[in-house]
Amino acid sequence: MDAKNLIAEGRSYLGIEFGSTRIKGVVIDDKGTVLATGGHSWENRLENGIWTYTLDDVWTGLQDCYSDLLKDIREKYDVVPSKFASIGFSAMMHGYLAFNSAGELLVPFRTWRNTITEEAAAALTREFGFNIPQRWSIAHLYQAILGKEDHVKDIAFVTTLAGYVHFMMTGQKVLGVGDASGMFPIDSSTKDYDKTMMEKFDKLIAPCGFSWKLGDVLPKSLSAGEDAGTLTEEGAKRLDVSGNLKAGIPVCPPEGDAGTGMVATNSVGLRTGNTSAGTSVFAMVVLEKALSKVYEQIDMVTTPDGAAVAMVHCNNCTSEINAWVNIFKEFGEMMGYGIDMNELFTKLYSKALDGDSSCGGLISYNYVSGEPVTGFDKGAPLFVRTADSKFTLGNVMRMHLYSALAALKSGLDILISEEGVKVDKMYGHGGYFKTKGVGQKFLAAAIHAPVSVMETAGEGGPWGMAILASFADGRQDGENLEDFLNRKIFADAAGSTVEPDPEDEKGFDAFMKTYMDGLAIERAAVEVLL
The CA-atom distances, in angstroms, between 400 and each of 211, 514, 522 are 50, 14, 15
Residues of the chain with pLDDT under 70: 1, 456-459
Sign of CA dihedral 164, 170, 176, 180: positive
Q: CA 414, CA 396: separation in Å to the nearest integer?
A: 28
Q: CA 393, CA 458: separation in Å to the nearest integer?
A: 26
pTM for the whole thing? 0.83
Domain ranges of the chain: 94-159+184-217, 266-316+411-498, 319-406+504-529
Q: Which residues pair with 302 in a beta bridge?
A: 308
Q: What is the CATH number of domain 94-159+184-217?
A: 3.30.420.40
Element (H, E) at 90: strand 86-91
Which has the closest alpha carbon to 18: 372, 279, 323, 320? Answer: 279
Please give the pLDDT value at position 424: 83
Which has the closest alpha carbon to 489: 266, 327, 299? Answer: 266
Q: CA 127, CA 409: separation in Å to the nearest integer?
A: 28
For residue 48, how many other CB atoms are within 10 A of its CB?
6
Q: Which residues pair with 282 in a beta bridge?
A: 276, 313
For residue 387, how many other CB atoms are within 10 A of its CB?
6
* Helices 502-517, 519-529: inter-axial angle, 10-degree rounding: 40
Please give the pLDDT value at position 491: 86
Which has the closest alpha carbon to 429: 480, 467, 380, 388? Answer: 467
Residues 6+ apart with CB under 8 A from 404: 277, 281, 316, 317, 318, 320, 321, 366, 432
Please give the pLDDT value at position 459: 65
User: How buried is residue 50: exposed, middle or buried, by Cβ count under 10 Å (0-12/13-18/19+)?
Assistant: middle
Q: Which amino acid is at 231?
A: L
Q: Evaluate whether 94-159+184-217 and 266-316+411-498 have a shared fold.
A: yes
Q: For residue 96, which phi and psi values (nearest 5 degrees)? A: -150, 110
Residues 6+ apart with CB under 8 A from 77: 3, 4, 7, 8, 35, 36
Contact by Cβ (8 Å): 49, 38: no
Please give the pLDDT value at position 464: 94
CATH architecture for the domain at 266-316+411-498: 2-Layer Sandwich (3.30)
Please give the pLDDT value at position 240: 98
Please give the pLDDT value at position 214: 98
Q: What is the CA radius of gyration of the chain?
A: 22
Which has the closest alpha carbon to 406: 501, 520, 519? Answer: 519
* Helices 460-474, 257-264: inter-axial angle, 10-degree rounding: 80
Q: CA 359, CA 319: separation in Å to the nearest integer?
A: 19
pLDDT digits (tens, 9 = 90+) for 494-513: 788 999 999 999 999 999 99
Instruction: Annotate 228-264 with b (16+ C-beta within 10 A) or e (fewer).
Output: bbbbbeebbebbbeeeebeeebbbbbbbbbbbbbbbb
Q: CA 164, CA 235: separation in Å to the nearest integer?
A: 12
Please give the pLDDT value at position 441: 97
Q: CA 59, CA 369: separation in Å to the nearest integer?
A: 26
* Helices 502-517, 439-447: inter-axial angle, 10-degree rounding: 70
Which has the closest alpha carbon to 279: 342, 330, 321? Answer: 321
The DSSP result for 146-200, as a single string, is HTT-GGGGG--EEE-HHHHHHHHHHS--EEEHHHHTTTS-EETTTTEE-HHHHHH
pLDDT digits (tens, 9 = 90+) for 128-181: 999 999 999 999 999 999 999 999 999 999 999 999 999 999 999 999 999 999
Which has the closest alpha carbon to 484: 11, 90, 30? Answer: 30
Three-class secondary structure of residue 134 per DSSP: coil
Q: CA 116, CA 24: separation in Å to the nearest integer?
A: 29
